[in-house]
């Protein structure tokens, strides 16, 4: 029997043969309840991994009746699956019945048998798919099962059993994500998120990652019907006239301000039908003279009715953000004993190292939050908000000030140490020191520090929250003033169209003149990572630390892409085109919905040049008639992120909080830097450990990946290490925990380079070696097989 047939049979057994299972019902119910019941009802969302982050509440919490602190050190590799392409993935596998869904083989969606890793089907060539995961939905009778994902600014669906595109969804299989945002779709560079959103009933609730530059798209939250693709509701995160919060912005801001988006993880209280959103910053991240005011709903924890999108409550955690302190970590839904009574709460961890806790229903803080005065801005036209919120009981989980006493004892030469000391001793540093027009600025945890996506987990019933965080100082130079270009400057910029010309003008400052990386990653193996359409979307919309270049013409982007594929290397030699590796295996479909890319090409109008250093550097102008400052201020190229190594360890930590008391139980480093170990360092954590994930078990085990090519298990009571295992490559994204036929498994996506010390940072990110990437699945020994039993 093939694994496809066997998987179908397994699914049918679960849904159809109930009569055969009745004699075992008492035993099954008893076993499950012993493992973890609440008021006699099985907590289903914590026993499966059918959802990104494990379940609707994003707790990454699982009930286990086999794995515990005593036997976790017996975990062994049950099977592993090669991605077979050398690409770095951030994927969170989903598991439904005996199907595991992964991304591999040049961005193909692959269904594996969850017990063995054997391929069931492959839907090939999904270039541009959202990188961190997909959604699973099924009808009540389980006859309709769908995988829902974003790709190149469209929603698409695949039949979860057969792997073939569902063309009855949307318009011939596509739902256009650029529609319904209140702007001309042709002017929106990116309308999808990097995380998959959240399924609630028959809705997909979805955020956006529109880019972080002047004139980026808006980050409105929307919900789509999972069967029809119809947009069912939308919530304007940048309020329009007559809407709540409109008076916290200039009157025309909704016409040109971007961001205020949910690119991170959405959590849902499925019982109450409430969705919780960590909302990001307004754009431009570091300068807000064109958005004076507090800027609701930027940097808020926002609670909406999941069925209607109606606002229930919000709390703004950074006013008028000038530091890129956008929220992205999943809000944790917990139950705590507070002031003598049980309280359902939501805990929110931030980039700047704070944990805030609110009543889940009313939005009232469990402990007082103080507004404290902060530094004013010296940038012309900027009006920094005079106070910022500080929690009063919960201690921070990150360092929030950097001085010369914090300099790294391992990776700096004597002369560098003297230089950095002089720089740190002459400027103010701290959480809310605005970027300056007159001097250098330091901030910590930094624009990519603190807690980010994948960084939070919880034991919901015990009221315990775990935060994996990093210290990554941001080092900003003086802000650069840009004025609108004159006709001659625009004409000159438009003449720069050759791929090498555009690259040298706009890209080499981050990626190096030889394309081998620097502040930005190595681009010499571009074709293995991006197709042309995917590359266009990346350039126009930005990604992560890379700014958007929305005013690049399509011709300019295409020319840069071709130059990167075949242009001369740093010694003047022509590079040959990179051939795609032939795809093998049970391919059932390819490319998603037919003609999705070819007939819907991305076109971004506007003069050449966008923020970040190309051409005029000004970018797309403001709409005619709006009241906005003509001059713009930018931070210098590089975004201040090139120096994570200047600070002493630990660079990455896990913090455990008991939110019944408001106390931090423990904090430990996660991972270990080999370069620092060679110089005597211990318990260092890892530099640049931005994208990791955790799992918490009912038996008191906390799993976490370490960025050092290992996965660890810790005791949730005290942080003691219980087990670790080496992986064939580094890992990013979330692990998964699931059960098939009574055996429980831990799955990890290990596909990224492992980098230690500071040298690799200077050289950029090299792809893993060919075939180095694997999905690795661990389990306790199968005693039945060892005993020779079937």
Structure tokens at 103: 């991304």
Element (DSSP H or E) covering residue 102 = strand 99-104
- Which of 423-432 are b and which e, b meaning 16 or more Cβ less than 10 Å from the residue's Cβ? ebeeeebebb
Query: What DSSP state is assigned to residue 668?
Result: E
CA dist., res. 91 & res. 752, Å (int): 11
Nearest to 273 by CA among 374, 203, 338: 203
Q: What is the model's pLDDT at position 532?
A: 80
Structure tokens at 72: 């976790």
Q: What is the model's pLDDT at position 512?
A: 65
Q: What is the model's pLDDT at position 573?
A: 53
Task: Pick out the chain residues at pLDDT < 70.
Answer: 1-43, 490, 493-497, 501, 504-506, 508-510, 512-514, 516-520, 527-528, 541-548, 550-551, 567-581, 595-617, 638-639, 759-771, 783-790
Q: What is the model's pLDDT at position 534?
A: 74
Q: What is the model's pLDDT at position 563?
A: 81
Is the CB of residue 490 less than 8 Å from the CB of residue 610? no
668 alpha-carbon distance from chain centroid: 23
Prediction pTM value: 0.89
Structure tokens at 650: 């630990």
Q: Kindly list the structural domains of the chain, giving each domain's residue range(s) and its CATH number in brackets, ordered by start.
A: 43-478+641-786 (2.140.10.10)
pLDDT tens profile 569-621: 544 555 555 556 678 899 999 999 985 444 344 444 443 333 333 445 677 88
Nearest to 541 by CA among 178, 223, 179: 178
Number of separate helices (H) and strands (E) present in the chain:
12, 42
Element (DSSP H or E) covering residue 158 = strand 154-159
Instruction: Give, to the nearest 10 degrees, the angle between helix 499-506 and helix 554-566.
Output: 90
Q: What is the model's pLDDT at position 43?
A: 66
């Amino acid at each position: 029997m093939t694994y496809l047939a066997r998987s179908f049979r397994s699914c049918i057994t679960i849904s159809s043969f109930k009569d055969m299972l009745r004699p075992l019902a008492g035993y099954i119910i008893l076993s499950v309840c012993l493992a973890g019941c609440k008021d006699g009802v099985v907590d289903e969302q914590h026993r499966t991994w059918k959802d990104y982050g494990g379940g609707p509440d994003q707790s990454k919490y699982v009930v286990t009746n086999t794995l515990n602190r005593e036997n976790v050190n017996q975990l062994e590799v049950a099977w592993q699956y090669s991605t077979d392409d050398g690409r770095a993935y951030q994927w969170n596998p989903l598991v439904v019945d005996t199907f595991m869904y992964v991304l591999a083989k040049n961005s193909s969606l692959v269904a594996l048998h969850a017990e063995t890793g054997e391929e069931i089907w492959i839907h090939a060539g999904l270039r541009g798919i959202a990188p961190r995961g997909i959604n699973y939905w099924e009808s009540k009778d389980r006859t309709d099962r769908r995988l829902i994902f974003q790709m190149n600014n469209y929603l698409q669906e695949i039949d979860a059993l057969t792997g073939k595109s569902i063309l009855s969804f949307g318009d011939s299989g596509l739902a256009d994500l650029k529609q319904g945002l209140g702007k001309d779709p042709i002017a929106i560079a990116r309308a999808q998120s990097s995380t998959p959103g959240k399924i609630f009933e028959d809705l997909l609730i979805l955020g956006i990652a529109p880019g972080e530059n002047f004139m980026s798209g808006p980050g409105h939250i929307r919900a789509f019907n999972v069967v029809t693709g119809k947009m069912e509701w939308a919530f304007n995160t940048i309020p329009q006239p007559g809407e709540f919060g409109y008076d916290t912005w200039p009157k025309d801001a909704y016409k040109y301000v971007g961001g205020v988006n949910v690119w991170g993880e959405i959590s849902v209280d499925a019982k109450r039908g409430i969705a919780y959103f960590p909302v990001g910053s307004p754009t431009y991240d570091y300068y807000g003279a064109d958005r004076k005011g507090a800027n609701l709903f930027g940097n808020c924890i926002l609670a909406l009715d999941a069925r209607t999108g109606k606002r229930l409550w919000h709390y703004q955690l950074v006013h008028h953000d000038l530091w890129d302190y956008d929220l992205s970590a999943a809000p944790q839904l917990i139950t705590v004993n507070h002031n003598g009574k049980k309280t359902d709460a939501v805990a929110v961890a931030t980039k700047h190292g704070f944990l805030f806790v609110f009543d889940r229903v009313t939005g009232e803080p469990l402990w007082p939050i103080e507004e404290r005065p902060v530094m004013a801005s010296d940038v012309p036209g900027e009006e920094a908000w005079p106070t910022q919120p500080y929690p009063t009981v919960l201690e921070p989980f990150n360092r929030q000030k950097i001085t010369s006493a914090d300099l790294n004892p391992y990776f700096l030469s004597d002369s560098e140490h003297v230089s950095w000391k002089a720089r740190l001793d002459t400027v103010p540093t701290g959480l809310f020191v605005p970027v300056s027009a007159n001097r250098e600025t330091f901030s910590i945890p930094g624009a990519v520090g603190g807690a980010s996506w994948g960084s939070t987990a919880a034991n919901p019933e015990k009221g315990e929250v775990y935060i994996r965080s990093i210290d990554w100082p941001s080092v900003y130079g003086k802000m650069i003033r840009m004025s609108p270009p004159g006709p001659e400057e625009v004409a000159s910029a438009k003449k720069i169209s050759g791929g090498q010309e555009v690259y040298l003008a706009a890209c080499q400052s981050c990626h190096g003149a030889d394309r081998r990386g620097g502040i930005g990653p190595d681009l010499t193996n571009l074709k293995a990572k991006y197709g042309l359409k995917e590359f266009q979307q990346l350039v126009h919309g930005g990604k992560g630390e890379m700014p958007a270049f929305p005013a690049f013409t399509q011709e300019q982007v295409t020319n840069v892409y071709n130059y990167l594929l075949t242009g001369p290397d740093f010694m003047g030699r022509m590079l040959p085109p990179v051939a795609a590796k032939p795809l093998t295996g049970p391919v059932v479909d390819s490319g998603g919905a037919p003609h999705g890319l070819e007939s819907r090409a991305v076109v971004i109008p506007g003069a050449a040049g966008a923020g970040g250093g190309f051409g005029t550097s000004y970018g797309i102008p403001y709409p005619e008639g709006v009241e906005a400052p003509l001059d713009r201020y930018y931070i210098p190229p590089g975004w201040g992120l090139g120096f994570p190594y200047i600070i002493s360890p630990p660079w990455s930590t896990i913090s455990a909080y008991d939110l019944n008391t408001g106390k931090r139980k423990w904090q430990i480093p996660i991972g270990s830097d080999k370069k620092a170990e060679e110089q005597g360092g211990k318990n260092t954590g890892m530099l640049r450990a931005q994208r990791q994930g955790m799992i918490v078990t009912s038996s008191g085990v906390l799993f976490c990946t370490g960025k050092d090519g290992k996965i660890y298990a810790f005791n949730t009571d005290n942080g003691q290490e219980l087990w670790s295992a080496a992986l064939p490559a580094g890992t990013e994204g979330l692990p998964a925990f699931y059960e098939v036929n009574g055996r429980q498994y831990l799955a990890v996506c290990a596909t990224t380079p492992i980098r230690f010390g500071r040298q690799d940072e200077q050289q950029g990110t090299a792809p893993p070696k060919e075939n180095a990437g694997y999905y690795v699945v661990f389990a306790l020994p199968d005693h039945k097989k060892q005993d020779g039993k079937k």
